[in-house]
Chains A and B, each alone.
Chain A
Amino acid sequence: MNEVLILLLFMIGLWLLIMDPHVIRKVIGLGFMNNAVVLLFVLRGATAGTTIAILTTGTENIVDPLPQALMLTAIVIGVCITALALSLSYNLYLRYGTFEIDEIRSRTEHDPE
């Protein structure tokens, strides 16, 4: 069930990224995809055991800590990418006053160098 929801989140993100003409919604879509992957890894780690994996004596039946550690890095990278994508979009908005990707594209083609 959880995996299905994660897949749905990923697919919504992918749909927004590819099909939506609005640049900001594309960035949001990318964020959805990123979060879906993060959730997938964390879910996998969390269902491997039941007890926490902090320095305790009985380290049996612990959750897998590795995916969480990895996903911290992935989240940081995702934030960087989002910030950069938003600032690039805003830069284009300042120039053309629109976030519609098709209009931006057609206007860059007619913009002098």
Chain B
Amino acid sequence: MTQSDLVFLLLVLPLGGAAFAAGARLVHRPGLQRLMLAAGAVLALALPWVPLIMLAGTTAKGLAISGTVGGWAHALGIEYRFDGLALLITMLGMLLTIPPWIYSRSMAVDHPIFDCFVYIQSAFLAAAAIASDLFNIFVCMEVLGIASYVLIFFARKPQATLASLSYLFVSAASMLFYLLGVYVIYLTTGSLSFNDVAARIQEAELLHRREIDIGLGLMVSAIALRVAVVPVYGWLPDAHAMAPHPVSAMLSGVLIKTPLFVLLRLVIMFPEQYQIGRVFALAGAATALLGVVLALAQSDAKRLLAYHSVSQIGYVVTAWGGSLAAGITTPLGIALAAASWLHALLHGIFKGTLFLATGAAISSAHERNVYVLRDAAQWLRAQGLHPLPTILAFAAGALSITALPPWSGFISKNILVSFIENPALSLLLLLASVGTVASFLKLARIFLPNPGQLAESAVHSIPAHPHPNRTATPASTVPLAPAAQRWVIRPHPLNLALLIGALLCLVGGIAGPALYQFSLTHISGWIQSSPDRVLASDLAREEIAALLRAAELSPEKLAQQASPAYLYAAASLLKTLWITLAGGALFLLLRLGPARELLHRIESRQRSFSGLFLAFFLGAALLALSMYYRWP
């Protein structure tokens, strides 16, 4: 079996799994159906790891596997390219699909169709990672989009259907703008493949710079919409909050990260990459802070988590943009890109775990309001669930996202922040960290045993609330809920998924420096394997390698900055302590009357459908202008 066959296995195996899952729908014997579903799961979720691990050896050496599908001539066929970046994207997607999938076994969804769409999504994640022309990226993004609209609909609630429909309108329209951008690039360079576009872009820039800037602005904004960066994040909270819990976990873990790293591959062809990087770094830091402020104002538990996804993706985008602004071929650029991927991965793990644990609590209690829901452990018991895995998973996720040592968020956030040199960006990220602590103190109260005065006073302070006197705490001795009211059909997969999530949060923290090293190896491998002309940069490949070896900021030195000795140094721990204390203080401050009034105003602000489009046009226009006038 050749290496290119291994690459195609990454697509074919999940698609085969999808076929098995869909076939199980047609079978009526329960035993056979279970067998087919199991076969689909093995094909789609377990087996792709074999080619992935075999390919990791190649990409770590800085090699890439490329060619055209079906052996067509270079200009005619569909080109693909599997390199370090593709490996990182695929690995992130495949890993973060597994715990939500296990969790979904506990839920009464239409398993054959649900599984089918999950596997299609996995296959097209891999396809998006290896796509090597502009049009294929459009196709992969559309298929990923369709899979996620359907998966959100699986919640079978009208709110979810509406969220799915709004997301569909915005995202499908933005992809048409992407296609307009592709048209411009095709018009000016006469090609769509990355290799050819990169080879001709310098020449085309001389003649058509304005057109290319507009086209690129449209393409980049369309993909940025999928990543949910300020100002185009508006669709995310509804879609993520209303989806079924495992789907929320997958959406925030996988589906907002993949487009970002695919975009990296696209953007580095253009000389405008430095401008795009600067704009994204700024937008990312603003996203991190705005997401947290909006999260603090939420009363719906899952919407609060969804705004935290916006906020955390802000961290990822800041590092991503910073790496482009510093020049992706420089050691600092590579270090930032690697840190960005690490935070994307670890955020996927801890946010997924948080969605799963919080989802279990709110579904058991039939109550989503964090000011009302108390004593979640009792509610879980009423559903026949042991509360310990849920509480453990929630605690692990919350400790990770608030970046306390030794949990996973501590490692990735600190590595990421240590490479941000711009003081304004650092300040924005620091404020976001403080807000994150406060917000999770608020959410953690759903596990408090006593409703007491706290819940009562919080409820009374919100005049618009439909049932001011409702307190959703079960009696101290709850009988098991009748079968008709249970949302969990089997408790074991749910508990298993939660425990795996909690464990991964810890492993991510302990193995964080090693994971960073892994990411660094593959990002620099990707840079070295890219043909000179794909990187629209002044540095040729050998020069990059020499630079990496000789420069003061060598990869070894950068890795030192991510070593446990540096991360656990007194200064870093002290900073964490200050952030945590400030977060606690902010939490107490926000419980005062005027602050609460303000948060309530923020929560109930008008959000309109046309506003989403306005934000998109504004974003695209600003991006294009900033590229044209080389600003900031």
Interface residues of A in 69-96 (CB under 8 A from B): 70, 73-74, 77, 80-81, 84-85, 88-89, 91-92, 95-96
A108 close to B165 (CB less than 8 A): no
Mark B160-187 against chain A: 1 for CB-CB distance below 8 A, else 0.
Answer: 0110110011001100100110010011
B229 to chain A, nearest CB (A): 21
- Report which of B165, B186, B192, B610 forms a contact with A18, defined as CB distance below 8 A: B610
- Report which of B158, B164, B173 forms a contact with A33, defined as CB distance below 8 A: B173
- Report which of B142, B153, B159 forms a contact with A81, defined as CB distance below 8 A: B142
Please measure, in the bound complex, the distance between the C-alpha atom of A105 and the C-alpha atom of B608, giving whole angstroms. 10
B159 close to A108 (CB less than 8 A): yes
B169 close to A111 (CB less than 8 A): no
Chain A residues with CB under 8 Å of B609's CB are 18, 101
Mark A19-33 against chain B: 1 for CB-CB distance below 8 A, else 0.
Answer: 100010010001001
B370 to chain A, nearest CB (A): 14
Q: Which of B157, B169, B192 has the most CB of A within 10 A?
A: B169
Interface size on A, residues (CB 8 A): 37
B183 close to A44 (CB less than 8 A): yes
Q: Given the known inter-chain contacts A19-B610, A85-B169, please indicate yes or no for A37 contacting B187, CB distance below 8 A.
A: no
Q: Does B395 contact A (CB under 8 A)?
A: no
B180 close to A88 (CB less than 8 A): no
Q: Does B613 contact A (CB under 8 A)?
A: yes
B168 close to A81 (CB less than 8 A): yes
Q: Given the known inter-chain contacts A77-B142, A81-B142, please indicate yes or no for A17 contacting B169, CB distance below 8 A.
A: yes
Q: Does A34 contact B (CB under 8 A)?
A: yes
Chain A residues with CB under 8 Å of B192's CB are 66, 70
B176 close to A37 (CB less than 8 A): yes
Chain B residues with CB under 8 Å of A37's CB are 176, 179-180, 183
B158 close to A96 (CB less than 8 A): yes
B457 to chain A, nearest CB (A): 24
Q: List 29 A-B contacts (CB under 8 A).
A: A14-B173, A17-B173, A18-B609, A18-B610, A30-B172, A34-B176, A37-B176, A37-B179, A40-B183, A41-B179, A41-B183, A44-B187, A66-B192, A70-B192, A73-B135, A74-B179, A77-B142, A80-B142, A80-B146, A84-B150, A88-B153, A88-B161, A89-B165, A92-B158, A92-B162, A104-B158, A104-B162, A107-B158, A113-B366
A44 to chain B, nearest CB (A): 7
Which of the four size classes fits the interface of chain B?
A: 20 to 34
Specify the chain A residue showing the minimal Cβ separation from B170: A17
A77 close to B162 (CB less than 8 A): no
Mark B184-196 against chain A: 1 for CB-CB distance below 8 A, else 0.
Answer: 0011000010000
Chain A residues with CB under 8 Å of B496's CB are none
A73 close to B165 (CB less than 8 A): no
Chain B residues with CB under 8 Å of A92's CB are 158, 161-162, 165
- Report which of B142, B168, B187, B366 forms a contact with A88, defined as CB distance below 8 A: B168
Mark B595-622 against chain A: 1 for CB-CB distance below 8 A, else 0.
Answer: 0000000000000011001000000000
Chain A residues with CB under 8 Å of B610's CB are 18-19
Please measure, in the bound complex, the distance between the C-alpha atom of A113 and the C-alpha atom of B138, giving whole angstroms. 35
Please measure, in the bound complex, the distance between the C-alpha atom of A15 and the C-alpha atom of B157, giving whole angstroms. 29
A85 to chain B, nearest CB (A): 6
Q: Does B139 contact A (CB under 8 A)?
A: yes
Q: Does B81 contact A (CB under 8 A)?
A: no
Q: Given the known inter-chain contacts A19-B610, A73-B139, A74-B179, please indicate yes or no for A88 contacting B158, CB distance below 8 A.
A: no
Please measure, in the bound complex, the distance between the C-alpha atom of A110 and the C-alpha atom of B159, giving whole angstroms. 10
- Report which of B153, B158, B165, B179 forms a contact with A111, defined as CB distance below 8 A: B158
B146 close to A26 (CB less than 8 A): no
Q: Does B368 contact A (CB under 8 A)?
A: yes
Chain B residues with CB under 8 Å of A70's CB are 135, 192
Interface residues of B in 361-380 (CB under 8 A from A): 366, 368
Please measure, in the bound complex, the distance between the C-alpha atom of A23 and the C-alpha atom of B187, giving whole angstroms. 35
Q: Given the known inter-chain contacts A40-B183, A105-B162, A108-B162, please indicate yes or no for A85 contacting B157, CB distance below 8 A.
A: no
Please measure, in the bound complex, the distance between the C-alpha atom of A41 and the C-alpha atom of B610, giving whole angstroms. 27
Chain A residues with CB under 8 Å of B366's CB are 113
Please measure, in the bound complex, the distance between the C-alpha atom of A92 and the C-alpha atom of B610, giving whole angstroms. 20
Chain B residues with CB under 8 Å of A77's CB are 139, 142-143
B149 close to A88 (CB less than 8 A): yes
A88 close to B183 (CB less than 8 A): no
Please measure, in the bound complex, the distance between the C-alpha atom of A56 and the C-alpha atom of B441, giving whole angstroms. 72
